[in-house]
Amino acid sequence: MAATTGVRTHAVSGPWTKTSASKSHRLVASAAASVLGFGAFFVYLITLAPTVTTNDAGRFQTAAPLLGLGHPTGYPTFILTGKLFTLLPFGDVAYRVSLMSAFFGGVAVALLFLVAIELGARFLPAAGAALVFAFSATFWSEATMAEVYTMHATFVLAVTYLLLRWRRTGQGAYVLAAGLVAGVSLGNNAGMVLLAPAFLTLLIVGRLRWLSARLFAGAAALFLAGLAVYAYVPIRGFAGAWYNYGDPVNDWEDVWRLITGTRFHGLMVFPPESLQPVENFLGDLFLQASPPYGYVLGPVLILVGAYGAWSVLRKDRVVGFALLLGFGCTLLYALSYQIDDIAVYYIPVYLFLALFLGLGASRLARVPGGPLLLVLPLVIALFTLYANYEEQDRSNYYAERERSEAILEGLPEEAVLYGKVPIIPITYLQQVEDQREDVTLRWLDGGTLERHLVLDLESGRPVYFISDPRYNEDYLEFARPHAQHRQEDRLIRLLPR
């Protein structure tokens, strides 16, 4: 009986579960992980967006400081954690929320290294694999603005690491921690559900005799305690907190619709009806480093990664199967989801590929001439950093703030402003920084025109659309029977007939 945790431990034997490192080795691994994580965080920090951005990131920069609600599935874990980051004493509020993404990006990189070491990778390939993932285009991009995907990667790797430690040591504390982390993680990204088969495989298969009813019940209770973060949605929703456009929470039906992502269900096509999603994925994989470097990175990830996956399967079929299950479930989901910004859903796939890369390079180092391959992932990571730096550098990205402030400054008093994506940073300026509180903002979606346009025109208040070639004609077609229009710089003025 472990004196410190109160949970049962077990003697461990077998080819996978033998202790592979001394205490000093583990300390060195922890120190190396810290250095890698801090190094990645530093890169993200110097390329971080300095202020408000747009789209989903802009919505989170509004929701977090106001303790509001995000788009489906609500993202309570991200918003609550983001609120803590807004208490930092530097940068504007939007910058502080983005800083959270950079921080968790660094944590994910450190954890990827530790998971690779736990799986048997050598230090140099494991470090290189972690940095390949760190500087891959999509993950780096998400680490420089207020998005949920770096925290998602952190949770995926944290639960994986805890369950691998459980399999190696038999210490129940790892299972309890994994249960709590998994529950909390669902409040950040419901995509963690896709990893459930992999996690359950690591927990149960070959270790069921260790999983006492008491330990399982404790882990389940902690999972539910973590999942209780979703109570935030009705608590804040019913209190009238700011909510994402088109996603109000006024009753329990609204709560269910939000947390289950009802309005996105029609975008899931399973199984994929053609090979086009596969082609799109491969194209995106080859763009994880700017050309021509991506033409090297993509094949290396596939070929060396495949060898790494095979090596894990040879060493321990259960662990190898679990990792491939996690890889396959996340990839199949991304291929089946017909959404514009699908690239971010490949991040867990790239995470597994990076792990397999580190393992494959470690294994290949044993063949004649193979020791040179120990540094292959590290060399690729440095080239990826060089190739992507300019494109991922958002440190001077003030465009959304400057455009939004110019629009607000040019509006007459008591104006009504309609817009779609371009209205998001304007919402931040008004709701968080209290700029132009006299202006009424209306999101062009979900029947807004039908409910408000005629009344707004009849009120005598100045009415404007934000000019956007993607949407202008659709919305002006509705407005024409009620108003004339004229272009005024970035805006379209509506004048009642």
| pLDDT tens digits for range 172-230 | 999 999 999 999 999 999 999 999 999 999 999 988 889 899 999 999 999 999 999 99
Q: Are 481 and 450 in contact (CB under 8 A)?
A: no
b/e per residue 412-437 (b: at least 16 CB within 10 A): eeebbbbbbbbbbbbbbbbbbeeebe
The pLDDT mean for the chain works out to 91
User: Is residue 15 assigned to a domain?
Assistant: no
- 94 plus 236 within the same structural domain: yes
User: So what's the pLDDT on residue 11?
Assistant: 43
Q: Is the dihedral of CA 367, 370, 374, 377 positive or negative?
A: negative
Q: How many of the other CB atoms lie within 10 Å of CB of 353?
A: 27
Mean pLDDT in residue range 28-38:
96
| Residue 408 confidence (pLDDT) above 60 | yes
Instruction: Note whether residue 455 is domain-resident.
Output: yes
Edge to edge, the sheet with strand 463-466 lists 440-443, 416-419, 463-466, 491-496, 483-488
Q: Is the pLDDT reported for residue 78 higher than 50?
A: yes
Q: Do 247 and 232 lie in a common domain?
A: yes
Could you say which of 392, 408, 428 is where a domain stops?
Answer: 392
State how far the Cα of 119 lies from the Cα of 228, in Å rounded to an integer. 32
Q: Structurally, how many domains does the chain consist of? A: 2
pLDDT of residue 301: 94
C-alpha span between 400 and 215 (Å, rounded): 51
376 and 444 co-located in one domain: no
Average pLDDT score over residue span 399-408: 96
Does 13 have pLDDT greater than 50?
A: no
- Evaluate if residue 437 carries a pLDDT over 50: yes
Q: Determine the average pLDDT of the residues in 392-409.
A: 96
pLDDT exceeds 60 at position 1: no
Least confident stretch, 3-7, 210-214, 315-319, 435-439: 3-7
Do 329 and 373 reside in the same domain of the chain? yes
Taking residues 460-466, report their average pLDDT. 94
Residues of the chain above pLDDT 90, percent: 78
Residue 5 maps to a domain: no
Residue ending a domain, among 360, 392, 424, is 392
Q: Provide the residue range defining the domain that includes 218.
A: 23-392
- Give yes or no: residues 355 and 424 share one domain: no
Q: What is the mean pLDDT of residues 235-240?
A: 96
Q: Which of 392, 421, 450 marks a domain boundary?
A: 392
Interatomic CA distance for residues 72 and 14, integer angstroms: 45
- Residue 483: helix, strand or coil by DSSP? strand
Comparing 97-106, 431-440, 481-490, the range with the smallest average pLDDT is 481-490
Mean pLDDT of all residues in 357-371? 85
Average pLDDT for 276-281: 90
Q: Do residue 450 and residue 359 come from a single domain?
A: no
Q: Are residues 388 and 404 in the same domain?
A: no
pLDDT attached to residue 7: 46
488: in domain: yes
Determine, yes or no, domain membership for 348: yes
pLDDT tops 80 at residue 424: yes
pLDDT, position 332: 95
The pLDDT score that the predictor gives to residue 369 is 67
Assigned domain for 126 exists: yes
Indicate whether 84 and 196 sit together in one domain.
yes
Written as six digits, the tokens of 213 are: 């009813």
Residues 224 and 325 reside in one and the same domain: yes
Residue 275 is predicted with a pLDDT of: 84
Residue 359, Cβ density class (10 Å: 0-12 exposed, 13-18 middle, ≥19 buried): buried
- The answer to the question of residue 157 being in a domain is yes
Say what percent of the chain tops pLDDT 70: 95
Query: Of 265-269, 338-342, 492-496, which one has max mean pLDDT?
Result: 492-496
Residues 308 and 437 in one domain: no
Query: Do residue 356 and residue 446 come from a single domain?
Result: no
User: Once rounded to an integer, what is the mean pLDDT over residues 265-274?
Assistant: 79
When pLDDT is averaged across residues 324-348 and rounded to a whole number, the result is 93
CA distance readout (Å), 216 to 297, 382, 400, 401: 42, 43, 49, 50
The answer to whether residues 347 and 422 belong to one domain is no
Is the CB of residue 77 less than 8 Å from the CB of residue 229?
A: yes
Say what the pLDDT of residue 12 is. Answer: 44
Q: Beta 491-496 vs 483-488: how paired, if at all? A: antiparallel
In a domain, 4, yes or no: no
